[in-house]
Structures are given as C-alpha cells and as structure tokens.
Amino acid sequence: MRKQILLLIFAVIALNLHINAFESANSTSVKSAKQYTTSKAGNLRLSYVGESRFSSHLQPIEVETSIFINPHKKFQTILGIGGALTDASAETFYKMPVTKQKEFMKSYYNPIDGIGYTLARTSINSCDFSSDSYTYVEDNDIALKSFTIKHDLKYRIPFIKKAIVEAGGKLVLYVSPWSPPAWMKDNNDMLHGGKLLPKYNQVWANYFVKFIQEYEKCGIPVWGLTVQNEPMAKQTWESCIFTASEEKDFVKYFLGPTLHKSGMESKKIIVWDHNRDLMVDRANEILGDKDAAKYIWGTGFHWYEDWSGGTQMFENIQRVNESFPDKNLIFTEGCIGNFNLKNIYDWNNGEHYGMSMINDFNNGTVGWTDWNILLDEQGGPNHVQNFCYAPVHYNTKTDELIYNSEFYYLGHFSKFIKPGARRISASTSKSTLLTTAFQNTDGKIAVVVMNQNEKINTFSIWIDGKSIESSVPGRSISTFMVE
C-alpha cells in the first residue's frame, strides 16, 4: 500500500511538472507596453506618449473595444520594409547641401535615430522617374560588349551606397526593368508598351546578369529581381507587355536557367509586379507550372487598382497565399499620384499607406516597398510629367526638407518591425480600429493600431490573460512595443 501511495504521489508531481512546463511554453511573460503615436492633431510624430503595465484579468467586457494578440499563432517571416532608390530620388538628393543629405539619410536608414529602412528597389535602365530614357548598351549589340552602367555612376550608385552605409552595411535590394532597349522590342520604342521580340529572349536574360554583375562590382549586392514592372500596362513611359504565358516561359526557359548557369541561383525571382486586381490569375498561370515555379521566390504586387469597393482587393493577396503557401508575397510599389504642392501635408495619404500595410501584412505579405523615397517640389524629376507624392520632398527653391504623413505612417512599421520578425495573430472587437502584430527575434512584440475616425478611441490590448488599457487620438496610428 505504501508503495502504491508513493507511486501515486510521484505521478501527481510528474503531472504537475508537465502542466507547468506546458503552461510556461505557451505563455508570454508580458510586463509593459511603450506607446508611440502619430496623429493629425497635436503634432505627434512617432512620439513616445507613455508606458502601460499589464495586469491579469479574467476577460474583457463585451461592450468595450479590445485588441487580442496571440503570440503562439505565428505566420510569415518579415523580409523588410523600405522604398525605391530611383534616379529621381538620387538626382534630388544631390541638389541638397551636405547637412541636409546627412539628415535625410539618417531619417530613413538609421535604425535608432531614423525609421530604419531595410529593403530597397531600383530600376534596370530608365523608368518614368528618370530625367531621360536610357539603356546600358549600344543598339543591336546582342553580345552586350558595350554594356556599361556609367550613367548610374553619377547619381544613383553613390546614392544607394550611402543608404547601405547608413543602414549599417546591409540593405536588401532588388531590381526591376521597366523596358528592354528599344531595338529588342516589336515597337522599337522603350515607351508605349510593345513586346520583347522572341529572338532577344536570351539576350535580355543575359542583360539581367550583366546588370547584377556590374552593380555588385560597385559594392552593391543584389538580392533579387522582378521580371517586368507592370507587365500588362501600356504606359506613356517605359513599359513592356508580357502575357502570363510569355512571362512564365521567359522565366522557365531563359531567365531562371541563365541565372543558374551564371552562378546566381541564389537571386530571388519575383513575378507579376503589378496590381492586386489580376494577381490571382497571373499566379495561377505561372506558379501553377512546376518547371517555372522552381525558379520563383514569389509574387510582387502594386496598389493602383480600384479602391472604391472598400476591400481594396486585399482578398486577392489571401487567395494567392492560400493557393501557393510555399511562395512569398511582396508589395513592390505604391504612391499617391496627381501631385500638388499645396496638398503636400494631406493626412489621407498617410492613412492610405497605413490601411494598405496592415491589410497586406495580415494577408501574408513578407516585404513592403514604397515608391520614390525622395522627390522635389514638383513631384519629380520625371521625363513624362507623371508627378506624384513621396514620403519626403526636398524643395530646391526654399532648401526645405518636407516630411509628410506617409513618412510617419511607414515609420510605425519599419522602425519597430525588424527583418526576421514573425507576424502573430491580432484581431479587434470593433471595426473602428485596424491592427496587426509581430514578434521580433528578440521576443519583443510590436502591435500597430490605426484609428481612421475623428474621435479618440479607448481600448484594451489582451495577451495571455493580461491586459492594458490605452487610447489613441482621432486620425492616428500607434505602435505599442510590448516587453
């Protein structure tokens, strides 16, 4: 009998140890949350507004607004957040005095004193945000013996290198063509759409390799590339049309094999690079082909589609994510058009970014890339007058750096959500707030909360049976750093 009692006692102790171990593995020892806020009123710009201590509670009250965070439910790993290093940005940068240049670089790329950008995009050949159209080879040079990036050495390459230094020596960079050279196309024009002539498929694939090689010789590592910027758009600027079948075959038979033969199999290939509206069909066609898909890292997308319906096509991102969970999703471009210097501080622009980023991330996106990081007081330079807004503008006439709402809304993600972070489950009990959340590699949790309403919103954040009560101003975005 005594032996049986001892065995029972040991069994109870073992069970308790198992339960305690399970609870420890599935609990988060959250203590406090620091709040940083940007708001339309009150002049708050990524401002620290206070710290709240978590305390234990049984459950929320039904009528209250609550945000629920579950760090045990993890999703995609974050690649980075950043913007495009275009010719227009570089040219504008070198019109600044040195003191302004240092301020600008620090504001974007310094992880402590800036918003800590970690991701970048640049163009192969010219794009609309260049002062002119150009390529890197002479006409009809199929051997690419004349290939030179001399054009980019004046502004763009030194600009990118400064960004890399300010970012701490590492910046994930991918590259995108807007158009092949005119002589490779059926319309003999870099502008106005047209198609790549089939006889130049291999030459164009070789062109990608040459570009990457030359940039890397300059000390600029290239992480990946998109096949074609906006492959369904016939633009008044540099553009080239690829059907889904043509893009698939170009990757399968030319670009993918050529990168591998050149020792560049580690370079990430991104397809589509166009709007959310048609991304499902394009992904089905290309990623559904296993011989093409084996070369492809993921699908890129823009936001220039119909926003009037309320859902903004975010469900299309989810459809691609569900259909091809082994591939990645990356936002490759977005900006606000119809530039007007009088509306430079329009708060709606920042909110457009915030809503897009929250929904894009919540549907599986791993990286988010804004368009031009810098433009001048005209919304350029731009050789086709396709002027737009950027998060930062430099007024060359008044020597003023202008930081818009977009800059601060972007910063609420890029400053606090680091590469390698995992998105975790986040939900709200009321539609008045938008939210997303991430756990960084150091264990700290970043919870982003956006309020598009005019009124202040009071709510609780719940994590593992503990909560804090907080509030956000009307027309604001906040990041809560939970430790």
Q: Hey, is 394 helix, strand or coil?
A: strand
Kindly give the interhelix angle for 347-362 and 314-323, rounded to the nearest 10 degrees.
Answer: 20
User: Partners of 422 in the beta sheet?
Assistant: 77, 439
Encoded tokens for 309:
């319906």
Look at residue 192 and give its three-state secondary structure: coil
Q: Would you give the end-to-end CA distance of the chain in angstroms? A: 50
230 is catalytic: yes
Contact between 10 and 443 (Cβ < 8 Å)? no
User: Could you tell me whether strands 32-39 and 476-482 are parallel, antiparallel, or unpaired per DSSP bridges?
Assistant: antiparallel
Choice among 91, 247, 333, 406 that is catalytic: 333
Q: At what angle do helices 347-362 and 405-414 cross, to 10 degrees?
A: 30
- What is the C-alpha to C-alpha distance for residues 195 and 246, in angstroms, rounded to an integer? 10
Instruction: DSSP letter for 278, please.
Output: G
Checking DSSP bridges between strand 476-482 and strand 445-451, what pairing results, if any?
A: antiparallel
Residues with Cβ within 8 Å of 59's Cβ and at least 6 positions away in sequence, in order, are none
C-alpha R_g of the chain: 25
How many CB atoms within 10 Å of residue 223? 17
CA atoms of 207 and 19, how far apart (whole Å): 60
Q: How many CA atoms lie within 13 A of 97 on its CB side?
A: 7
**What are 367's strand-pairing partners?**
80, 330
3-state secondary structure of 191: strand
Burial of 182 (0-12, 13-18, 19+ CB in 10 A): middle
The residue annotated as part of the active site, out of 166, 214, 230, 406, is 230
* Closest by Cα among 135, 156, 152, 150 to 92: 156
**Side chain identity, residue 345:** Y
Q: Rounded CA gap, 25 and 376, in Å?
A: 52
Q: Report the length, in residues, of the chain.
A: 483
- Angstrom distance (rounded) from CA 12 to CA 211: 67
CA distance linking residue 263 with residue 267, whole number of Å:
9
Q: Please say if 285 is a catalytic residue.
A: no
For residues 342 and 229, what is the distance between their CA atoms, to the nearest angstrom?
30
Q: DSSP labels for 454-473?
A: SS-EEEEEEETTEEEEEEE-
- Give the residue numbers marked as catalytic: 230, 333
